[in-house]
């Protein structure tokens, strides 16, 4: 069954609206500063506070204040941001599978296929362990040199 493509709605363009006290009044587009409008905009803008504020014609701080006071708005913002991450991740997967972006493929392997040996940290740890062992060996050799030219005397 073919996968449905993710359609990301364009983010509303910022409106040239009033600032401060004037922003609390309904704007020309009819959007008032109320909870339902903020909920809708948070979803449409994937939780982007600046774009939400610009769409209403208010400040980011005003939106942050509403979110701080209302658990439902906070939950909606967090959910919208998670949906954005999901959409971004799916787009990255699709582009990596197309095979046209080697850097993206390497990134996806390092972040998603660590258990298959693509973890750069494991390689770094192994290299560090080898270097430490080599250093320890060299230090021990200088403290207790072995003379290869002299052999034990036979009796």
Per-position DSSP letters for 122-139, written without gaps between them? HHHHHHHHHHHHHHHHHH
Residue 114: CA atoms inside 13 Å, Cβ hemisphere, count?
7
Expressed in percent and rounded to 5, the helix, strand and coil fractions of the chain are: 65, 0, 35
Q: How confident is the model at residue 121, as a pLDDT?
A: 67
More confident residue, 116 or 73: 73
Whole-model pTM: value is 0.53
Q: How confident is the model at residue 147, as a pLDDT?
A: 61
143-152: pLDDT as tens digits? 776 665 655 5
pLDDT over 70 (residue 154): no
Highest mean pLDDT among 30-39, 95-104, 111-120: 95-104
Task: Output the CA–CA distances (angstroms, integers) from residue 72 to 35, 38, 42, 84, 101, in the order listed.
Answer: 9, 11, 11, 18, 39
Q: Which two tokens stand for residue 46?
A: 């994937």
53-107: pLDDT as tens digits? 998 888 999 999 999 999 999 999 999 999 999 998 898 888 888 888 888 888 8
- Each as own residue / partner, the long-range contacts of residues 12-20 (CB below 8 Å, 24 or more positions apart, any chain) are 12/41, 12/44, 12/45, 12/51, 12/54, 12/55, 13/54, 14/51, 14/54, 14/55, 15/54, 15/55, 15/56, 15/57, 16/57, 17/54, 17/56, 17/57, 17/58, 18/57, 19/57, 19/58, 19/59, 20/59
pLDDT over 60 (residue 2): no
Mean pLDDT, the chain, integer? 77
Tell me how far apart the alpha carbons of residues 107 and 155 are, in angstroms, rounded to a whole number.
66
Tell me the average pLDDT across 131-155: 71
């Amino acid at each position: 069954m073919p996968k449905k493509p993710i359609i990301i709605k364009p983010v509303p363009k910022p409106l040239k609206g009033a600032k401060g006290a004037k922003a609390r009044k309904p704007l020309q587009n009819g959007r008032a500063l109320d909870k339902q409008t903020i909920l809708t905009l948070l979803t449409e803008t994937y939780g982007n506070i600046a774009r939400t504020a610009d769409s209403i014609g208010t400040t980011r701080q005003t939106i942050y204040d509403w979110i701080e006071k209302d658990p439902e708005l906070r939950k909606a913002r967090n959910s919208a941001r998670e949906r954005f991450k999901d959409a971004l991740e799916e787009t990255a997967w699709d582009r990596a599978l197309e095979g046209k972006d080697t850097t993206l493929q390497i990134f996806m392997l390092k972040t998603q296929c660590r258990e298959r040996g693509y973890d750069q940290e494991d390689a770094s740890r192994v290299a560090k362990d080898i270097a430490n062992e080599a250093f320890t060996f060299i230090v021990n050799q200088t403290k207790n040199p072995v003379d290869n030219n002299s052999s034990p005397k036979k009796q």
